[in-house]
A = this chain, B = another copy of it.
Amino acid sequence: MDLEKKLLEGNKRAVARLITLVENKDPAAFDLLKKLHNKTGNAYVIGITGPPGAGKSTLTDKLVKALLKEGKKVAVIAIDPTSPFTGGAILGDRVRMNDLATHENVFIRSMGARGSLGGISEGTSAAIKVLDIYGADFIFVETVGVGQSEIDIVKNCDTTVMVMVPGLGDDIQAIKAGIMEIGDVFAINKSDRDGAKKTAREIDAMLDYNMSDWRPPLTMTIAMKNEGIDDLLETIYEHHDYMKSNDLFEKRRITNAKNEIVELVKHRVLDHLLDNAFKEKMINTLSEDVVKRNTDPYTAVERIMTNINK
């Protein structure tokens, strides 16, 4: 297959083409990923997550540039949440990265939920495999948000950088609950802003309750001014070394593989169950009955469950 040969040669257009095929759920793409699975596992996968406005794109941009200076080959997957109602267009105009996109050692791709295999998390997993085969030394996966889908996405990563920003107010309490266990290293970005030290103290206090032997390090960064980037990269390397030397690296990858398999199974099962005109009609009728108070949702579900294997 021509695509296979070009991919293995590191051809960027082949990479782009294969990710598109994956997004379109083309069976040939997955056949190729099956065949080339033994070429994966070499890239280091770094998740970049945190609340909107934290400056994740700029931070990723600077980390990529630092790695390029070290002669590394780097890929970036930028996840854009898209409308779940229309499967709308991908809006990601991470404009600041444009100067990187033409660099010979960089591949940048925006991905949306639309068309991804099952959920966005599975699409990301597949894209990571493509970039791994392509020969990237580092793959960055950048998400927007702090919700469940972001948590699912970073379950594909070896190290997750949690980017925080001053000025989140009381919402930091709620965010903390979600991020407590997915951040391997922390960056307080825009740290020249008012309240940066307070935010750092709050995060630091939270990390006191961290149960694992690894205490996530916290770096103050100002990505716009390229400040703190080398320090942050250093903490990423430290986390990598810690995982490797404590037999945790492969363990996490097994957990990640398990997560991917379970998600894939879920979506396959649900596709079978819900993609059925008879059940669709039954669900529609029952939904109307619920609103008319002819039945309640729990009774409706029981009725569907007794019909679901027929």
Task: Please judge, given known A-B contacts A93-B173, A173-B92, whether A255 and B287 are in contact too, CB under 8 Å.
Answer: yes
A55 to B286, CA, bound (A): 38
Q: Copies per complex?
A: 2
Interface of A is mostly: helix
- B53, B266, B287, B304: the one contacting A167 at CB < 8 Å is B53
Task: Please judge, given known A-B contacts A82-B178, A257-B290, whether A33 and B91 are in contact too, CB under 8 Å.
Answer: no
A14 to B66, CA, bound (A): 59
Enumerate chain B residues within 8 angstroms of A278, measured Cβ to Cβ: none
List 8 other contacts, CB 8 Å, given A85-B181, A125-B297. A52-B174, A54-B171, A81-B146, A145-B147, A147-B148, A147-B149, A250-B291, A257-B288
Enumerate chain B residues within 8 angstroms of A250, measured Cβ to Cβ: 291
Enumerate chain B residues within 8 angstroms of A308, measured Cβ to Cβ: 265, 269
- B81, B258, B301: the one contacting A284 at CB < 8 Å is B258
Interface residue? A71 (CB, 8 A):
no
Task: Please judge, given known A-B contacts A147-B147, A167-B53, A291-B254, whether A261 and B304 are in contact too, CB under 8 Å.
Answer: yes
Interface residue? A68 (CB, 8 A):
no
Interface residue? A293 (CB, 8 A):
yes
Q: Kindly list the 3 A-B residue pairs having the minimum CB-CB distance in the complex, ordered from nearest.
A: A147-B147, A37-B296, A258-B287
A90 to chain B, nearest CB (A): 7
Are A301 and B261 touching (Cβ within 8 A)?
yes
A84 to B270, CA, bound (A): 21
Are B34 and A171 touching (Cβ within 8 A)?
no
Enumerate chain B residues within 8 angstroms of A81, measured Cβ to Cβ: 146-148, 174-175, 177-178
